[in-house]
Amino acid sequence: MENSSQPMLESDNLTKVYEDGVKAVDKVSFQIYPGEVYAMLGGNGAGKTTTINLFLNLIDPSEGEARVDGIPTHRRPLEAKTRMAFVSENVMLYPGFTAIQNLDYFARLGGKTRYTRKDYKEVLLRVGLQEDAHNRRLKGFSKGMRQKSGIAIAILKDAPAILLDEPTSGLDPKAGREFMNLLENLRNEGKAILMSTHDIFRAKEIADTVGIMDGGRLIMQKKREELRDADLEELYVKYMGGLAEEQMKSDNPS
């Protein structure tokens, strides 16, 4: 684990108001250092994907900024992009290409031209894609198999920051477990990892910091030490419920 004074990923007062007026992300600030995993929890529509999309510069912030390695992603998008690898909830790869062809295509697109077939096979085995699938076309892959291929591409990019939007959502229990081991390895290699998830138990297991979002706001953030003896599910319900109650009180003042 590295000891670095600058966060690899930083959200600084990050705010996004969509064109229709929805405030999807509201003054969110957090830091992720090299060798750390940050797990973001929160109900549907809480603002998790929007936060990740702001880091990836798929959308512009309304206020504040997202930085990678100190670089504001919306001001210097090209420099920022080389430092981040992304695995989406629905990995979109080329259906007519085989797994190996997809890896080769995306590696070259990212400027990595030195990888060999052996490297591709190695990384596919590392993410748990069975050997007989390496030369099959993606269009016959299950969601989990596509997910694994996407993770392999992210690993090949060898970026210092990895962002994952619900990465375990399509994985079977065995693949989910393997995936957690993989994330742990990447963390130990010094990657800074931001993941959104609905899986409270995995979040507690893997994360150095857990954040809970609700209505665009980061309503709870706790470090591993603070969570050690805590029941995260109970905390989640408490925080979400607490806010709902507050809302009801302000809607119906007695």
Ligand X SMILES: Nc1ncnc2c1ncn2[C@@H]1O[C@H](COP(=O)(O)OP(=O)(O)OP(=O)(O)O)[C@@H](O)[C@H]1O
Structure tokens given for 241? 């419920």
Residue with Cβ nearer ligand X (106 or 236) = 236
Question: Could you tell which of Mg ion, ligand X, none binds residue 1, using a CB distance below 5 to 8 A set by kind?
Answer: none
Q: Considering the rule CB under 6 A, would residue 22 count as an interface residue with ligand X?
A: yes
Which residue matches tokens 């989990």? 144
**Of 240, 216, 219, 239, nearest to 47 (Cα)?**
216
Structure tokens given for 152? 């392999």
Residues near Mg ion (CB under 5 A) are 48-49
Looking at the chain, how many residues does it have? 254
Question: Could you tell which of Mg ion, ligand X, none binds residue 211, using a CB distance below 5 to 8 A set by kind?
Answer: none
CB of 126 to ligand X, least distance (A): 27
Question: Could you tell which of Mg ion, ligand X, none binds residue 42, using a CB distance below 5 to 8 A set by kind?
Answer: ligand X
Interactions with ligand X, residue window 149-178 (CB under 6 A): none
Residue with Cβ nearer ligand X (59 or 76) = 59
Q: What are phi and psi of 223, to 5 degrees?
A: -85, 160
Q: Which residues are CB-contacts of 104 (< 8 A; sequence separation ≥ 6)?
A: 115, 120
Interface characters, 30-49, with ligand X (x: CB under 6 A): ------------x-xxxxxx
Structure tokens given for 243? 């806010």
